[in-house]
A and B are shown apart, each in its own frame.
Chain A
Amino acid sequence: MINLEHALQDKRILIVDDLVEARSSMKKMLTILGAQTMDTATDGREAMDFILEKDYDIVLSDYNLGKGKDGQQILEEARYTSRLRASSLFILVTGENAVDMVMGALEYEPDNYITKPFTLNMLRERLTRILTTKQKLAEVDAFIDGGEIDKAIAAAEILLTKYPKLEMPLIRILGKLYVRQKRYQQALEIYSQLLNKRSVSWARLGQAICIHFMGESENALALLQRTLIDHPMYVQCYDWCAIILNSLGRPQEAQKQLEKAVEISPKAVLRQMELGRIAYQNCDFPVAEAAFEQAMRLGRFSCYKTAHNYLQFSDAVRHLLKGGSDRVQKLRLEKVLRAFDELRQDYAGQESVMFETCIVEGKTFVTIGDEDKALKSAKNAETALGRIKKPDHAQQLKMAGAYVDTGQHVKAKDLMRKLKAEGLSDEHGQQLQALENSLNQMTIREHTARLNARGVGCYEKGEFSQAIEAFDEAANYEEAGISVLLNAIQAKISLIENTQMDLVQLKDCYRYFQRIGPMGSNDERYERYERLKHSFTRLKRAAGL
């Protein structure tokens, strides 16, 4: 065993705890045990500042840090930003009943944990064990830090035969390294070897992951479900259930699994982002809204803060904005507008982010029917797009969409023609087709509106034949609305009443009524409809039909 005093004296240590007594007591104990270089942080933000600035050999963090990030998140960020070497130690300090959850992490698990409450002697024993093991694994860690994974594997394999008592920590490392190198069969073998002797959940999760990658996803799912019966708090199992279900084309079920994971551990930013993404894809916008909002809030002061999160949030909320000007809707709109403001502030100069912001903003204004603002956003998007050196097809398609949405048909058509000439991928081709369809529909709607207006003009001047000509042309499009059809009917009835019976016109009226179908008495056009129907019946009788 190592000499703890000796081992600690040249180590740089970070202590994280939100309670002042706990911090000073830990620092005092470590000083007695031989530590000389220590920093203390009160919350996740401060801890991350320290970690980004200095290289620590040991981080001792409490799991529960009050309001902000928890210890697990600090660990995730530190590893995600590669600020913690494999050879350094991250030790979580936690209540006994949270050990399972804390050590359940397979992706970013702490090297070890210390359960509270502990005495000086307990801390001494625990640290001695942890550092002794770490020292024996030093060679493996050095290879991992150097990116030489195959060498790390070889070293770990040798250690495993040499020190049977290090089986658990070694298999934990080795399993992950095998999976990283896609050597699933070997990973599966060592996990199974361990499970024959010991019932450990992380090995069962490891097995499930290997089985999934080896193509037996259904079996992997079943294994995970069984593990969850024993350990319902084992969050990573839900994550993997979601990954597997998604790969099997069952995104709704995947979302349910992630929702459970988020319920147990709501502070993990990456998981919230994944839930938002899947929920959006499933068109479950309320869940997507909540998940992205959490991800934004939790990620605000972290390495996970991304513009993408804000944009996805706004886009999800946009789908919920429809209808009503009640308080909830107002708050929602405010939240989205605030997200746009934050994007403009924090990502100024990143043209593609600015462009996306204008696009989503424009769509939001279209949704709430504010045409002027939508047009302004589209213009801003156009400016931002102009600043992007080589805009890709996806961006240009979004621009074309904004043109269509804001009625700038000429610009939309020009851009779409250009894109078509450049040749698009299948996915983009489909998007273009959808845009063309909606553009055509809009053109027709505008055309029929013009014809309708002309008809109304003629009708008011008593030029019934000309009016009928215009209305009939408009009614020829199947997109023609009920008002156009009623106008046509009225013009035809007026013509007959003012000149003579005309069976052809009367038949047209019949056809148009058929197209309109039955009309509910709540409809604002009901009275007019009833009146015309009455005149039509009268004329029909007069014609002897």
Chain B
Amino acid sequence: MKFEHMVAAVIHDLKNQLQSLLDYEQEAISQIPARYHHHLQPILQRTNRLKNDTMQMVSLFRLEQQQNFPMDDAWPRDTASDAIEAIQLQYPTIKLVNEIADECQGFYNENLIQLALVTLITNSAQAGANRIQLTADDSNGLHITVQDNGHGFDESILSGEKDTTKTEGSGLGLFFVKLIAEAHRNGEDIGKVTIANRSQGGASVTLSLP
């Protein structure tokens, strides 16, 4: 067994352990009077963040290994709602708005796109946004857009000079989202990520899938 496969197996197990830890914590909170919740909330938040990070690691490993990701019919509204559920705990004060229509449909790997959305929402939150909005359009391919009211992208990132300006965190954010987009291909068409700053302030990132 190669070392990297062993690491992958360990991370995979870590992800599962963290998920059940999270379940136990949530169960515990539900049993405890509300006035004590603030003691447990930080634990819950950190567990959640670790879980999301390990999920990212697992997927990154599989993406690098060029493993096959099964794609299927999927509904962006559901995927976005799952992403919001996974991240809301971290940023309870940020308003996350899912404006994607029920019938909007795509063909992608749901777990990967959910992870991409979690990453984009995290980026927005770290950029000081307090309102993040998700929209989608399936009239010609699928485009999912995450918009926020944070400070927007630096010029160096918009021009493609740098991938990140963050000093904390993995700094993998956009790079990871790009990898996920590119794992979705159909013949010649490859998924891509478009970034921009909004005229009224804030960032806008669009994930386009064939």
Contact = CB atoms under 8 A, between A and B. Distances in A.
Given A115-B111, A121-B85, A165-B103, A129 B68 contact: no
A410 interface: no
Interface centre among B23, B68, B110 (most CB of A within 10 A): B68
Looking at chain A's contact residues, the main secondary structure is helix
B53 to A, nearest CB: 16
Given A100-B70, A129-B75, A198-B186, A165 B82 contact: no
B73 interface: yes
B19 interface: yes
A96 interface: yes
Contacts of B110: 115
B72 A121 contact: no
A103 B78 CA distance: 21
A1 B102 CA distance: 8
Interface residues of A, number: 22
Contact of B82 (A1, A121, A230): A121
B82 A125 contact: yes
Given A165-B103, A199-B186, A103 B81 contact: no
A99 B73 contact: no
B187 to A, nearest CB: 8
A121 B81 contact: yes
A56 B118 CA distance: 37
A189 B140 CA distance: 24
A205 to B, nearest CB: 14
B68 A100 contact: yes
Nearest to B67: A97
Contact of B70 (A103, A126, A168, A197): A103
A231 interface: yes
Nearest to A125: B78
A126 B78 contact: yes
25 contacts: A99-B70, A99-B72, A100-B68, A103-B72, A117-B16, A121-B82, A122-B78, A125-B75, A125-B78, A125-B81, A125-B82, A129-B78, A165-B73, A165-B103, A168-B73, A168-B107, A169-B73, A198-B71, A198-B186, A199-B71, A199-B186, A199-B187, A200-B71, A230-B68, A231-B68
Interface of A: 1, 96, 99-100, 103, 115, 117, 119, 121-122, 125-126, 129, 165, 168-169, 197-200, 230-231
Given A117-B16, A129-B78, 13 more contacts: A117-B19, A121-B82, A121-B85, A122-B78, A125-B81, A129-B75, A165-B73, A165-B103, A168-B73, A198-B107, A199-B71, A199-B186, A199-B187
Closest 4 CB pairs of A and B: A125-B78, A100-B70, A117-B19, A99-B70
